[in-house]
Structure 1
Amino acid sequence: MSFPWAKQYAPTNPVMKWVDERLPLPRLVYNAVGAGYPVPRNLNYFWNFGVLAGVALTIQIVTGIVLAMHYAANAGVAFDSVEHIMRDVNSGWLLRYAHANGASFFFIVVYIHIFRGLYFGSYKAPREMVWLLGLVIFLLMMATAFMGYVLPWGQMSFWGAQVITGLFSAIPLVGDTIHTWLLGGFAPDNAALNRFFSLHYLLPFVIAGVIVLHIWALHIPGSSNPTGVEVKDEQDTVPFHPYYTAKDGFGVAIFMTLFAIMVFFAPNALGHPDNYIPANPLSTPAHIVPEWYFWPFYAILRAFTIDFILPAKLWGVLAMFAAILLLFFLPWIDKSPVRSATYRPLYKKFFWVLIIDVLILGYCGGAPAEEPFVMLSQIAAIYYFAHFLIVLPIVASIERTLPLPASITEAVLAKHGNTVSDADGTAAAAPAE
């Protein structure tokens, strides 16, 4: 989308002018995050989480690079090298805790970002590609986080690798071959640790590249907004800088405060104590669980307990991957012409049901594989798929939506009880948002 009223970049400093003529990087930055990029004037703090995700990724890359300088990807010394980082490297404890908790904060931010998109319909046309690239980033994050969880080579690291890679053995005919290929052997050992370390180091840079594509795709149609109404004219927008750089700066300050509290006062709250025990292939932990951000999908995996045509394990694997892949088709599943749940009262109710359902799946995924958690997982998994495949299409066809405002400006002024001028210049009352 082109914005004819956007302020154009015109460097006045001779050095910047010389650089811009030969490498228009200053112009690119200005048009991407500066006054040259108009954004809807009604964005709320839920639109901060894209920037916060970038901050979280930066923390992970910086701390990860330094940690890699001291880590040894060898099954015989990997656990000891982590202890060396914690005890002997200057500020090593801070780097390791920041990296471990940074992963959790990264997922918290991204989960909120995803559910914001679900609530405000940010996946709808013309922003389908923005949504799809966001999901690719999410998948890359999951792969990176899993491989990073293996690197400390504690009990939960080893057995997590054994269980998760073992899922591929459920695939008929080629499953065992894929399992052996992933590990580089028949069980997690040096080969697996080296592979996971190299990929864990590489994938964050791949994520950064996809984020560039994600932002590029966003700048073509422009940012969505809480009303779901497209930008009509200059009155509907404000420059990204200084209005939203200030707003994002406040969000970053809150994020970093909470992050510092976690790192300094509760660094192990989101981890598992068994990972402070060296990996022992002869001693299986009583309760093997992945990190908390995988729990909803782990619950779906464990919800299948009966062989029906295919083995239960294979059904669980298919359902776990389908739970994520289903989101790629969401722009075409939800056919409602109205984007924002603000104007979709029935959809809004089911959105909160979905939130509760995912929280139940998360709770069951972290609980032991026993009753009543298995039964709760099965019920919650059924609703999860029913929500996207049954509920959304029905809601889109029968829902009576609320009247949309004529413009973003009209919605903003209506919140304050003001009026806007119509096309003839007369005062017209703006409908309530």
Structure 2
Amino acid sequence: MSFPWAKQYTPSHPFMQWMDEKLPIPRLVYNAVGGGYEVPRNLNYFWNFGFLAGLCLVLQIVTGVIMAMHYAANTAVAFDTIEQTMRDVNWGWLMRYAHANGASAFFVVIYIHIFRGFFYGSYKAPREMVWLLGVVIFLLMMATAFMGYVLPWGQMSFWGAKVITGLFSAIPFIGEPLQQWLLGGFAPDNAALNRFFSLHFLLPFVILGVVILHIWALHIPGSSNPTGVEVKSESDTVPFYPYYVAKDGWAIGAFAILFCAAVFFFPNYLGHPDNYIPANPMSTPAHIVPEWYFWPFYAILRAFTQDFLFIPAKLMGVLAMFGAIIVWFFLPWLDKSPVRSGAYRPLYRKFFWILVLDMLVLFKCGGAPAAEPYVMISQLAALYYFAHFLIIIPIVSAIEKPDPLPFSITEAVLGADEEAKLAPAAAPEA
């Protein structure tokens, strides 16, 4: 967002002047992430997770490209090429562990980024497009992560691919042909592995393109802030560089420490033991479970156990699983409250924390066996999940009495200047 007080890019070196005239990349960078981009002065550390998400994406692309140099998408050797990369390629173990744990780190950062948006109303006007593109990024991440989970061709890779692609068979009339088209056959094999590898390699670059649109859309209205109050004057903002570059630098350091601890000390903690066994179509694992970041939606899928009239339980589960994310697209219009930030919405704030607890329950149930009491708990948690977005938020936004908002971002940071309000007007100079 360009404010009248924002610094303008004025190159002094003749070469930079020529570059700015012919191809103004320096101007673009300066206006996007430099001193020419003004940011609300009250952003807290939850706003660092957007930058960390971009860092995770770059990490995944770099390590993924290196891993692809040594990978063979063939069911006969796929598992062995991963092991060979780990054992025989210089620093191959580091690339593999960084890529595998980088996916988990990416989803941790994104989940925090999304729930920050829920709490502070980042989906509200005028930032609806920023939110919608963010949901698209999340869906692309889910697809990319699923296809990447298949590539090691371990037991959980094979059976996960079989179960997840089998969900498409629940679609009436076109389900089974669609499943066979996706797999290139009747079961996961060479054709499916090649397709998943190709798409897994391609989709991160698609995500990168949508991320650029996401940032572009953000720069039109400017960044939101914890109060939800829009920028009113120059005192409400500071330049992105150097203030938030330094703040993001601190966040990168903290993230790097935690990430390196995971890679070097417990790199296999989040991996399923069965996926370190070569795929065997004749041996079904006792408990088929996806990666941890799919667990809430997997729990919603398994919550449907009985057919309803002519609708099979499997189809309802598939629709609910996808609907759990699709409902986020409608959030800007479901929440009609004029106040953005949950910090000034006492009733909404209570239900937000109930939603967080509900998601944690879905995480637990999604990773647990499909048995009681987890199935019943999943059903109750899934029911509340949809009720939160489709019933509770519209009602709360209609009946809630928000707390008083600060007049400006500056007032929220520094407090109201009561003396200035009470002082008599200064007499004009003679």
TM-score class normalised by the smaller sequence: over 0.9
Any conservation in 2 of the 1:82–1:152 contact (CA below 8 Å)? yes
Corresponding residue number in structure 2 for 1:126: 126
Query: 2:394 corresponds to which residue?
Result: 393
1:335 paired to 2:342: no
Are the equivalent residues in 2 in contact too, given 1:335–1:396 (CA < 8 A)?
A: yes
Q: Match for residue 262 of structure 2?
A: 262
CA deviations 1:236-268 (Å, max 9, x no partner) are 000000000000000011011100000000101
2:230 is equivalent to residue 212 of structure 1: no
Letter in 2 for 1:23: L
Alpha-carbon contact 2:2-2:38 (below 8 Å) kept: no
1:312 Cα deviation from its structure 2 partner: 0.4
Aligned equivalents of 1:418, 1:387: Cα separation in 2 = 39
- Partner amino acid for 1:41? R
Distance 1:163 1:424, change over 3 A: farther
Deviation of 1:344 after TM superposition, in Å, equals 0.1
In structure 2, the CA distance between the partners of 1:313 and 1:403, relative to structure 1 (3 Å rule), is same
C-alpha displacement at 1:424, in angstroms?
9.1
2-side partners of 1:130 and 1:278: how far apart? Answer: 42
Match of 2:152 in 1: 152
Q: Deviations over 1:14-63 (max 9, x none)?
A: 22111111000000000000000000000000000010001000100000
1:191-240 per-residue CA deviation (whole Å, 9 max, x = no partner) reads 00000000000000000000000000000000000000000010100000
Retained in 2: the 8 A contact 1:165–1:179?
yes
Name stretches of at least 5 consecutive residues in structure 1 with no aligned partner. Answer: 428-433
Identity %: 75
How far apart, in 2, do the equivalents of 1:324 and 1:219 lie? 25
SS of 2:52's equivalent?
helix
Secondary structure of the residue that 1:376 maps to in structure 2? Answer: helix
Deviation string for 1:260-303 (max 9, x for gaps)?
Answer: 00000010111101000000000000000000000000000000
Verify: 1:344 aligned to 2:345, yes or no.
yes
- The answer to whether the 8 Å contact 1:410/1:420 transfers is no
Within the alignment, does 1:175 sit opposite 2:161 as a pair? no
Q: Could you say which residue in structure 2 is the equivalent of 1:430?
A: none
Task: Identify unmatched segments of 5+ residues in structure 2.
Answer: none
Q: Distance in 1 between matches of 2:420 and 2:365?
A: 54
One-letter code aligned to 2:404:
P
Equivalent positions of 1:244-255 (< 5 A) are 244-255=244-255
Distance 2:251 2:236 in 1: 23
CA–CA separation in structure 2 for the residues paired with 1:66 and 1:213: 26
Aligned length: 425
Output the amino acid matched with 1:388.
F
What CA distance in whole angstroms lies between the structure 1 residues aligned with 2:425 and 2:341?
29
Letter in 2 for 1:404: L
Aligned equivalent of 2:317:
316
Q: CA 1:371/1:12 → structure 2, altered by over 3 Å: closer, same or farther?
A: same
Quote how far apart the aligned CAs of 1:12 are.
1.0
Cα deviation, residue 419, structure 1: 5.0
Q: Distance in 1 between matches of 2:398 and 2:211?
A: 34
The separation in 2 between residues aligned to 1:425 and 1:16, in whole angstroms, is 52
Equivalent position SS for 2:231: coil
Residues 290-299 or 307-316, more deviating? 307-316
In 1, Cα distance between the equivalents of 2:343 and 2:425?
28
Equivalences for residues 95-110 of structure 1 within 5 A? 95-110=95-110
Query: For residue 94 of structure 2, what is the aligned residue in structure 1?
Result: 94
Counterpart AA for 1:38: E
Change (3 A) 1:324 1:423: farther
Pair 406,189 (structure 1): closer, same or farther in 2 beyond 3 Å? same
C-alpha separation in 2, matches of 1:124 and 1:420:
35
The answer as to whether partners of 1:64 and 1:201 remain within 8 angstroms in 2 is yes
Contact 1:160 1:290 in 2 (8 A): yes
User: Secondary structure of 1:81's partner?
Assistant: helix
Q: 2:39, 2:222 within 8 Å by CA — same for their partners in 1?
A: yes
Q: TM-score, normalised by structure 2?
A: 0.97
Q: Give the distance between the partners of 1:95 and 1:422, measured in 2 at CA.
A: 60
Q: Per the alignment, in what secondary structure is the counterpart of residue 3 of structure 1?
A: coil
Structure 1 residues 111 and 426: alpha-carbon distance in aligned structure 2, compared to 1, 3 A threshold: farther
Alignment of 1:275-290 (within 5 A): 275-290=275-290
Distance 1:358 1:285, change over 3 A: same
Q: SS state of the match for residue 287, structure 2?
A: coil
Counterpart residue identity of residue 106, structure 2? F
2:238 partner SS: strand
Q: Secondary structure at the match of 2:83?
A: helix
Q: CA deviation at 1:13?
A: 1.7
What letter is aligned with 1:300? I
Q: Report the 3-state secondary structure (helix = DSSP H, G, I; strand = E; otherwise coil) of the residue aligned with 1:39.
A: strand
Alignment-derived partner of residue 67 in structure 1: 67
Letter in 2 for 1:263: V
Q: 3-state SS of the aligned residue for 2:39?
A: strand
> Which residue type is aligned with residue 332 of structure 1?
W
**Map of 1:374 onto structure 2:** 375
CA distance in 1, matches of 2:223, 2:237: 10
Map of 1:306 onto structure 2: 306
* 3-state SS of paired residue (2:314): helix
1:189 aligns with 2:203: no
* 2-structure distance, mates of 1:206, 1:425: 60
Matching residue's letter, 1:348: R
Q: Cα–Cα, structure 1 residues 425 and 122, in superposed 2: closer, same or farther, change >3 Å?
A: farther
Show the counterpart of 2:235.
235
Structure 1 residue 325, shift from structure 2 partner: 0.2
Q: Does 1:111 align with 2:111?
A: yes
Is contact 1:413-1:420 (8 Å) kept?
no
Letter in 2 for 1:257: I
Aligned structure 1 segments of 4 or more residues deviating by more than 6 angstroms = 423-427
Whole-Å Cα distance in 2 between the matches of residues 170 and 423 of structure 1? Answer: 69
2:2–2:37 CA contact under 8 A, matched in 1: no
Evaluate the alpha carbon distance shift between residue 192 and residue 420 of structure 1 in structure 2; reply closer, same or farther with a 3 A threshold: farther
Residue 58 of structure 2: aligned partner: 58
Superposed displacement of residue 418, structure 1: 5.8
